[in-house]
Structure 1
Amino acid sequence: MARTTAARSRPRMTGTQRRAQLIGVARSLFALRGLEGATIEDIAAGAGVSKPVVYEHFGSKEALYTEVVDTEFNRLLAAVTEALGADAGPRVLLERAAYSLLDYIENHTDGFRILVRDAPPSQPEGTFSTLLSRIAADVEHILAKEFSSRGLRAEMGGMYAQMLVGMVAMTGQWWLDARSPDKATVAAHLVNLSWNGLTGLQEAPVLEHIPGGMPGGAPTVLTLSAVLVHDSEGRILLVRKRGTHRFMQPGGKLEPGEDFLQAAAREVNEELGLRVAAADLADIGHWYGPAANEANTFIDAGLFSLNLPGPFGSGADPAPQAAAEIEETLWLTPAEAFARTDLSPLLRDHLLPQLLAGETEPPG
């Protein structure tokens, strides 16, 4: 008796599955050959379907190309926007944004090739330039705020945003084919140039808050607020926390749902026994650097200033008082404080030099 073998038919794809397959095939072909070089025949053959199936889903090659571009545009924009949207200081945001672009290039190479290649009919001015403009707008907002806190002209933020975004984007296009060194190293050098400038370049920069960015692993990064408290005689309040040996400013870690300002007001109230509202604090910028008391730890600090009526410390007025984890307080002039050797890096390297140079004034 003759044996017959029934041919096994492949399971049919759903409409959603077929559409996703066609987009994947088209993405690879558009990245390799461009919009003009890739044909509907190529796309249909790559997906194992007939040309009418492609037209049924997308109507035209240009419509398919536009969908591929829009998908990659939104994917990259979302990654960079998320990196820039963190509640962190500018150094951390710069590291995150540079790394996120290179990470996208590494994991979505075809998508990036398409973004920097041909513009779809819907965006004749260029997809990549449109994307960079969107990112630059986010960066401008961050820089304008940072410039204002440092006494610089906020309106210059737009120009500097173009410089930063352009530098990162051009480096990304170069790395698309170079791929050496690795993305963490490239991102670290981008941050090195933009953060330190040509005159302050480090020989072997590393990403200080991204896992794998440092030899032996990245350090812990603590997000916190610190408050520079002044009295009426121009002195500042130093505090030492229980179990530590360095003096610093009142402040502490952000709790879930808090921003830097809210955390600053809460910490001052808890540690000094005061009733301070957020509106009483003046924003004086951010600082990113090593922690005072924890090894392999960096802090990303929101900085604020508080002016109290004072003078305090003579015993005539008990407020503010050491509370919570504060074990010791000192009222010193900036010069007296600068002469000490038991200060936190933030106070020693950032706040006191600004005070002594007359750059950080108590709020009026």
Structure 2
Amino acid sequence: MPRKRGPGRPRKLPVAEQRAQTLAAARHVFALHGPQGATIEEIAKQAGLTRQAVYELFGDKQELFEQTVADIEEQAYAAIAERGSGDADLDLRSWARKNYANLFGFVAENPDAFPVLQEAERAGNRALTRLRARLAEIYTEASGQRWAAYGVEPGRTDTALVAMYFAMTEALVNLSWPEEPPDREALIDLLTEFTIGGVLRLYSQTPGVIERMR
């Protein structure tokens, strides 16, 4: 019969699990205190590991911050790109609304993600800029196909618009309201109608603006 493990030191977690726990804790601590205010001690405590274990896994705090940022960038890209690249059967308005909802959903599900990416930008790591650029490639192609149904050929305008979509969504998600914030669905509808209606107005009333962007 196999012997049962007796009392004593807990079983050591696999390295991959230790890394995952440390990155999850680091994300929260860096979002809360920034890279300067965060400490390895606090991250180790939240991860349920020793400080020495964190140092062995990541070397130092700067390397841990860089790894945390890279992990968030890849997670955000995978989640948002996957949600935004499909749905070939949706028309432009339905597709745009679904993708605004997806962006809101990702931020709500990962409240520490964008604060850490913004901290990285301030520190000189352009992870958020890279993320927007990578997502813009996917969204530009998908939206361009749908604009064609309206007779709109936005050219490079589409790339600029995608960057604006992300910026507006991030701003609304992080906006501090003086009272109870509006319903999320209302904000998604606002973004959808503002962007779709705005581009159609540009194309029909001031086509020269789009022409200059081509």
Shorter chain as denominator, the TM-score bin is: 0.7 to 0.9
| Pairing of 1:96-107 with structure 2 (within 5 A) | 96-107=98-109
- Cα contact 1:66–1:120 (8 A) shared by 2: no
> Take 1:19 and 1:148, find their aligned partners in 2: how far apart are those partners?
46
Structure 2 residue 92 is the aligned partner of structure 1 residue 90: yes
1:108 alignment partner, one of 103, 107, 110: 110
> Take 2:56 and 2:11, find their aligned partners in 1: how far apart are those partners?
20
Structure 2 counterpart of 1:41: 41
Higher relative CO (CA 8 A, sep ≥ 6), structure 1 or 2?
2
Instruction: Using the TM superposition, give the Cα deviation of residue 131 of structure 1 relative to its aligned residue in structure 2, in angstroms.
Output: 1.3
TM-score when normalising by structure 1? 0.46
- Cα contact 1:69–1:120 (8 A) shared by 2: no
CA shift digits 1:224-251 (9 cap, x unpaired) = xxxxxxxxxxxxxxxxxxxxxxxxxxxx
> Take 1:176 and 1:58, find their aligned partners in 2: how far apart are those partners?
39
Structure 2 counterpart of 1:292: none
Residues 31, 175 of structure 1: alpha-carbon distance in 2 compared, 3 angstrom cutoff: same
2:119 alignment partner, one of 117, 120, 131: 117
Residues 75, 177 of structure 1: alpha-carbon distance in 2 compared, 3 angstrom cutoff: farther
Residues 79, 21 of structure 1: alpha-carbon distance in 2 compared, 3 angstrom cutoff: closer
Structure 2 residue 142 is the aligned partner of structure 1 residue 135: no
Residues 193, 165 of structure 1: alpha-carbon distance in 2 compared, 3 angstrom cutoff: same
Structure 2 counterpart of 1:192: 193
Instruction: Using the TM superposition, give the Cα deviation of residue 154 of structure 1 relative to its aligned residue in structure 2, in angstroms.
Output: 3.9
- Cα contact 1:84–1:97 (8 A) shared by 2: yes
- Cα contact 2:97–2:192 (8 A) shared by 1: yes
TM-score when normalising by structure 2? 0.74
- Cα contact 2:72–2:113 (8 A) shared by 1: yes
| Pairing of 1:201-220 with structure 2 (within 5 A) | none
Structure 2 counterpart of 1:75: 75
- Cα contact 1:143–1:161 (8 A) shared by 2: no
Instruction: Using the TM superposition, give the Cα deviation of residue 44 of structure 1 relative to its aligned residue in structure 2, in angstroms.
Output: 2.5
Instruction: Using the TM superposition, give the Cα deviation of residue 32 of structure 1 relative to its aligned residue in structure 2, in angstroms.
Output: 0.4
Q: Which amino acid aligns with 1:78?
A: A
Instruction: Using the TM superposition, give the Cα deviation of residue 70 of structure 1 relative to its aligned residue in structure 2, in angstroms.
Output: 1.8
Instruction: Name the % identity.
Output: 23
Q: Which amino acid aligns with 1:84?
A: G
> Take 2:72 and 2:180, find their aligned partners in 1: how far apart are those partners?
20
CA shift digits 1:202-239 (9 cap, x unpaired) = xxxxxxxxxxxxxxxxxxxxxxxxxxxxxxxxxxxxxx
Instruction: Using the TM superposition, give the Cα deviation of residue 150 of structure 1 relative to its aligned residue in structure 2, in angstroms.
Output: 3.9
- Cα contact 1:65–1:120 (8 A) shared by 2: no
Residues 21, 176 of structure 1: alpha-carbon distance in 2 compared, 3 angstrom cutoff: farther
Residues 163, 120 of structure 1: alpha-carbon distance in 2 compared, 3 angstrom cutoff: closer
Secondary structure (helix, strand or coil) at the match of 1:52 reads: helix
Structure 2 counterpart of 1:60: 60
Instruction: Using the TM superposition, give the Cα deviation of residue 189 of structure 1 relative to its aligned residue in structure 2, in angstroms.
Output: 2.0
Instruction: Using the TM superposition, give the Cα deviation of residue 55 of structure 1 relative to its aligned residue in structure 2, in angstroms.
Output: 1.4
Higher helix share: 2
> Take 1:165 and 1:133, find their aligned partners in 2: how far apart are those partners?
10
Instruction: Using the TM superposition, give the Cα deviation of residue 29 of structure 1 relative to its aligned residue in structure 2, in angstroms.
Output: 0.7
- Cα contact 2:80–2:102 (8 A) shared by 1: yes
Larger radius of gyration: 1
> Take 1:35 and 1:59, find their aligned partners in 2: how far apart are those partners?
15
| Aligned length, in residue pairs | 193
Q: Which amino acid aligns with 1:107?
A: E
5+ residue gaps, structure 1, are 1-5, 201-364
Structure 1 counterpart of 2:17: 17
